[in-house]
Structure 1
């Protein structure tokens, strides 16, 4: 006889019990003024909620451009409304310019989009910005950590440098393969093909391909001069014009 196991629904333990039973309005408000932002590529929809903690807040929704002028208009509007607490989702990269403009002027919570969607009690017809604002007003948004501006800049530079180093390594490997395919075995004689001597030889190959002993001896430096016979043997291969044009 087969038996079926009953699968129990997952419960988000971070959600207050009162919210699970009574919906979002069962949770006490903690902010009299707050704003939820729904950020898109070209626009940001802002929902401003104002009012006493023991009553339903007044709602005002406006749409701003994500151009610099529009974002500063958003900042001016929030400042005039004495709104110091805002929240928005951390999806994609569209939140970054908004964050940069508002940073330092107000308290910003960058919310995890998945967690916001999983909070129960949302009506189907409510706008994203309004839902974010209501969650913020009730203290139900846990902000993600955003490091200070100088640390963010350092992170971006570090990531960019890592990509450049990776691209450079890939390009060096590609050049090595082309040289090997043409019978030029520099790496068998020179430990660093892209060092001073190696680069000089590569530039000569790219220029006119003339690699007689006098030319090679004038290009290499240091102890590599002692390996001149082996080096001439390693350079005895040849690259076709297409390989020379598209390799270096």
Structure 2
């Protein structure tokens, strides 16, 4: 443990603690006012293990010191134990972006100096807290993000199925728009089960594909071997497993959204307003909010769930709905409005491209004359004054038109 004194006491928080978090430890810096000397501050820096008991002991110590705010950096997922346990202890925890507190060139970088620097920024009110949703919304976010990952992984395995078919000269995807539709999946299951007759496979077509049986028989004629059948069976089993997991996540998300209630103003009228709509006492659930978002064009049920999981149910956390320096609601929900560049500036704004120039092209240099001719021309040029070149006339059309 180290104690030192600092002459700076112009911060907005009198008692502050900062934590520079690593995987197994956290460097804690505590800055509190001096007991006897006014205007002085006492600084303590020590290391804390990232175990549950060590973090709980840290919380007790900070509470005894009367710490008003605990600030920590968003380092991977290692900040979660510190934030959740200290928050449960009753401390006000702020999670800040490391990009906002470490962009000082030339500053030495160690865990100890980072913790001290973060504490000084926090006590002066020079950091901004990131959005950390409450526990029910965090659980909803875990489920929606896991579902997104599983859907992406299932899509990858579907592409691998087509890759295996292409390796066996099976051009089924050229005729069937959806390999995993009713007809396509029946043909894939038959191939994995050992059926090799193209006409028998084409007879499994249903719906509008019945008219394409000759084309299907031609596309199903290839070099499909036993190796491809085993590989196809493994891929189809993985796709089915992921589909089952996605359906289970859908059920868990629906149940959690029915149980999660917004205990704050959701933008509806007050009790005295008879215009209808939700209010604080209505106990609006997340499922009802998702249904209202689903009514917006371009937003489906799954997207509405993701939006609520990312931005939460309390819109008062975001000062404005836009993505300016004060707004933070559209960007976390991945609904940031597109900034359209004017046509005349689009080429200049595009990375790696050049804007059309209004200047005339630079002429190629003249060939180098011989030594005698160069001497004569240089003497003539020195004797004759060079007339000034007139400025080019302005163009009637702007660049890019």
TM-score normalised by L of structure 2: 0.47
| Distance verdict in 2 for CA 1:41–1:79, change over 3 Å | same
Q: Does 1:41 align with 2:26?
A: no
Shift of 1:171: 2.7
Aligned residue among 241, 245, 248 for 2:226: 241
Aligned residue among 107, 114, 119 for 1:133: 119
Q: CA RMSD in A?
A: 3.4
The 2-side partners of 1:77 and 1:242 are apart by 64
Q: Does 1:106 align with 2:91?
A: yes
Once the two structures are superposed, what CA deviation does each residue of 1:121-175 show, in whole Å capped at 9, x if it has no partner? x788963323322332232323333344444444444444333333333332332
Task: Give the 3-state SS of the residue equivalent to 2:11 in structure 1.
Answer: coil
Aligned residue among 42, 56, 69 for 1:85: 69
Q: Which moved more, 1:76-85 or 1:207-216?
A: 207-216
Shift of 1:194: 0.7
Q: Does 1:178 align with 2:164?
A: yes
Question: Mind listing any 5+ residue stretches in structure 2 that lack a counterpart?
Answer: 1-5, 236-401
| Distance verdict in 2 for CA 1:138–1:52, change over 3 Å | farther
| Distance verdict in 2 for CA 1:25–1:102, change over 3 Å | same
Shift of 1:26: 4.5
Runs of 4+ with deviation above 6 angstroms: 122-125
| Distance verdict in 2 for CA 1:181–1:30, change over 3 Å | closer
The 2-side partners of 1:172 and 1:47 are apart by 51
Aligned residue among 101, 106, 116 for 1:116: 101
Task: Give the 3-state SS of the residue equivalent to 1:127 in structure 2.
Answer: helix
TM-score normalised by L of structure 1: 0.71
| Distance verdict in 2 for CA 1:212–1:180, change over 3 Å | closer
Aligned residue among 165, 169, 176 for 1:190: 176
| Distance verdict in 2 for CA 1:182–1:119, change over 3 Å | closer
Task: Give the 3-state SS of the residue equivalent to 1:199 in structure 2.
Answer: helix
* Aligned match of 2:277: none
| Distance verdict in 2 for CA 1:52–1:60, change over 3 Å | closer
Question: Mind listing any 5+ residue stretches in structure 1 that lack a counterpart?
Answer: 1-23
| Distance verdict in 2 for CA 1:154–1:128, change over 3 Å | same
The 2-side partners of 1:59 and 1:26 are apart by 11
Q: Which has the higher contact order (CA 8 A, sep 6+)?
A: 1
Shift of 1:86: 0.7
* Aligned match of 1:146: 132
| Distance verdict in 2 for CA 1:102–1:221, change over 3 Å | farther
Q: Which moved more, 1:104-113 or 1:224-233?
A: 224-233
Which entry has the higher C-alpha Rg, 1 or 2? 2
Shift of 1:37: 0.8
* Aligned match of 1:209: 195
Once the two structures are superposed, what CA deviation does each residue of 1:175-215 show, in whole Å capped at 9, x if it has no partner? 22331332222223333211122122212212223446557
| Distance verdict in 2 for CA 1:184–1:27, change over 3 Å | same
| Distance verdict in 2 for CA 1:132–1:170, change over 3 Å | same
The 2-side partners of 1:101 and 1:64 are apart by 14
* Aligned match of 1:61: 45
Q: Does 1:29 align with 2:29?
A: no
The 2-side partners of 1:246 and 1:27 are apart by 68
| Distance verdict in 2 for CA 1:139–1:71, change over 3 Å | same
